[in-house]
Structure 1
């Protein structure tokens, strides 16, 4: 019987297959893919050959995990995904956003897209991420909307995640200003989430851009939301948090942005508000610049940054109760 690698045609289809059998942000899959390409990665999954640079035990566990998802109906699933009409981007495409390459082994296998992929071809300084609390206050939503509108007026692209609260306020404000916005989803593009934002997300797909590393049909999960946050950070020159609780998942976006030498901004808020506890602490610890108006975000975007891969994050990780996956590859032999 022909293997999956023998049945797919070319790098793009190989990466489509990988997006269906490997979870996002899988460091071992990313490590193998970056060094061997999609077709060879599929072959290595189904073979008994050694994988250069990986310990034998890690290779066996990796294969066991992925081959369990190589089902007889996988090719049919791939064909069905194609029928949705969504676009795909791989690193060889001119529209592939160069900022994602900074994720190294944690880069997405490919991107599924709907809308204006030209938004991804601009400089990092032309895109800013606004993210934060889903249970935002009126203050947080107002500030997020004003920041987003100001960025739209300056012809900067606003990147966010389409969720309730801060993210929804940012998207809506950009659309009202006839600006450009990108929504990065944690599930398939055919499954708008949250359902209450279906109309908003479809509107973004019509006039802006929807992006996901998950194939059509994939449901959002906690792991996929946390994995998605690294894309929010990598796609932009700066990330801004108007509101977020101390243990909000948005803090993983901040950590990723700092590791990528991107700008980080936070909006101060009342010390009595739990929703402002996260940004206030980021500012207090020196992990974020204070942001009160759109020009502050523009300054972050336009700052000349020299990449620094020695950025530390233990204090933020402990403070906000998150364990952030290491960008290294567990089990790689020395």
Structure 2
């Protein structure tokens, strides 16, 4: 029986199949892929040949980790997905968002798409990621919607994750102004999540873009939500956090953006609100600039940290971490 590598036809199909085998942000797989390409990566999964720049013991662990996911029907699944009108992007494509290359070995193997991939061809400074609390307050929702709408009026593309709260408000704010928006999903582009946002996601797929590094049919998981944060950060020139808890996924996205030398903005809010703790902490620690108007975001886009501080590009595959603040020794007082 032919191996999986022998069944694929070219680099695109190899990367499609790879996304069905390895989880997103698998740095070992990303390392091999960067060294030898998709077809040879699949071949190395199935044989015992030496893996470039990987010790024999490490290669054995890598193969054992992926072995349960190897299936002879994967190539057929890739062909079937293409027949359903779901698109794909790989680094060789003109529409591939080059900002993702800054992730190094943590870059996605492939992007599955539904909609206008041309929205990814613009410069980084023309895209803004807006993310934050799912259990957002009315204040946070209003800020996110107004900010996204105003940026859309300036012909900026709004990037978010399609979730409840801040992200849904940002998508709707952009759409209400006739603007462009991209939803980065933690599951397949054919799988609406959350299901209550089906109508919103369908509309984005029709007039904007749905994108995922997961293959069609894939279900979201906690690990996949965590991995998605690096894409939200890398796709835009600035990430804005209107509201977020200290331990939320939005804070990890802000940390990714900061490590990638992207701009980070945070909106101040009531000191009595737990959803304002995240933005306030980012501002206090110098990770984020305070955002109170749309022009604050525009300044970050047009003269962000990389331009102002003459910072170089991040090291490929740099680790992204968010340091949680230590709990106060004494109860704090509201102002």
**TM-score, scaled to structure 1:** 0.93
Pairing 1:319–2:308 present:
no
Q: Counterpart in 2 of 1:189? A: 189
Deviations 1:184-219 (A, max 9, x none): 000001111000000000000000000000000100
1:218-237 maps to which residues of 2 (within 5 A)?
218-237=218-237
Deviations 1:143-182 (A, max 9, x none): 0011101100100000000000000000001000000100
- CA gap of 1:207–1:262, structure 2 versus 1, over 3 A, is same
Q: Distance in 2 between matches of 1:116 and 1:72?
A: 32
Which residue of the other structure, out of 284, 297, 312, is the alignment partner of 1:307?
A: 312
- The secondary structure found in structure 1 opposite 2:102 is helix
- CA gap of 1:312–1:30, structure 2 versus 1, over 3 A, is closer
Q: Contact 2:160–2:183 (CA<8 Å) still a contact in 1?
A: yes
Displacement of 1:312 after TM fit? Answer: 9.2
Displacement of 1:286 after TM fit? Answer: 1.0
Deviations 1:51-94 (A, max 9, x none): 12112121111111212111233233223322321100000000
Q: Contact 2:256–2:320 (CA<8 Å) still a contact in 1?
A: no
- The secondary structure found in structure 2 opposite 1:43 is helix
- The secondary structure found in structure 1 opposite 2:12 is helix
Q: Counterpart in 1 of 2:284? A: 284
Q: Contact 2:266–2:289 (CA<8 Å) still a contact in 1?
A: yes
Pairing 1:156–2:161 present:
no
Q: Distance in 1 between matches of 2:33 and 2:175?
A: 37
Q: Distance in 2 between matches of 1:14 and 1:105?
A: 17
Aligned residues: 320
**TM-score, scaled to structure 2:** 0.92
Displacement of 1:31 after TM fit? Answer: 0.4
- The secondary structure found in structure 2 opposite 1:317 is coil
Q: Counterpart in 1 of 2:333? A: none
Stretches of structure 1 lacking an aligned partner (at least 5 in a row): 322-334
Q: Counterpart in 2 of 1:41? A: 41
Bigger drift between 304-313 and 291-300 goes to: 304-313
Displacement of 1:116 after TM fit? Answer: 0.7
- The secondary structure found in structure 2 opposite 1:129 is strand
Q: Contact 1:257–1:263 (CA<8 Å) still a contact in 2?
A: yes
Q: Counterpart in 2 of 1:12? A: 12
Q: Distance in 1 between matches of 2:281 and 2:209?
A: 32
Q: Distance in 2 between matches of 1:259 and 1:44?
A: 32
- The secondary structure found in structure 2 opposite 1:112 is strand
Q: Counterpart in 1 of 2:273? A: 273
Q: Counterpart in 2 of 1:126? A: 126
Q: Contact 1:247–1:320 (CA<8 Å) still a contact in 2?
A: no
Q: Distance in 2 between matches of 1:52 and 1:261?
A: 30
RMSD across aligned C-alpha pairs, in angstroms?
1.6
- The secondary structure found in structure 2 opposite 1:319 is coil
1:56-75 maps to which residues of 2 (within 5 A)?
56-75=56-75
Q: Contact 1:251–1:320 (CA<8 Å) still a contact in 2?
A: no
Displacement of 1:308 after TM fit? Answer: 5.0
Q: Distance in 2 between matches of 1:39 and 1:288?
A: 41
Q: Counterpart in 1 of 2:169? A: 169
Q: Counterpart in 2 of 1:258? A: 258
- The secondary structure found in structure 1 opposite 2:247 is coil
Displacement of 1:281 after TM fit? Answer: 0.8
Q: Contact 2:237–2:263 (CA<8 Å) still a contact in 1?
A: yes
- CA gap of 1:83–1:157, structure 2 versus 1, over 3 A, is same
Q: Contact 1:260–1:307 (CA<8 Å) still a contact in 2?
A: no
Q: Counterpart in 2 of 1:50? A: 50
Displacement of 1:313 after TM fit? Answer: 7.0
Displacement of 1:106 after TM fit? Answer: 0.2
Q: Contact 2:13–2:75 (CA<8 Å) still a contact in 1?
A: no
* Structure with more contact order per residue of length (Cα contacts < 8 Å, sep ≥ 6): 1
Stretches of structure 2 lacking an aligned partner (at least 5 in a row): 328-335
Deviations 1:271-297 (A, max 9, x none): 100010000111111110000111111
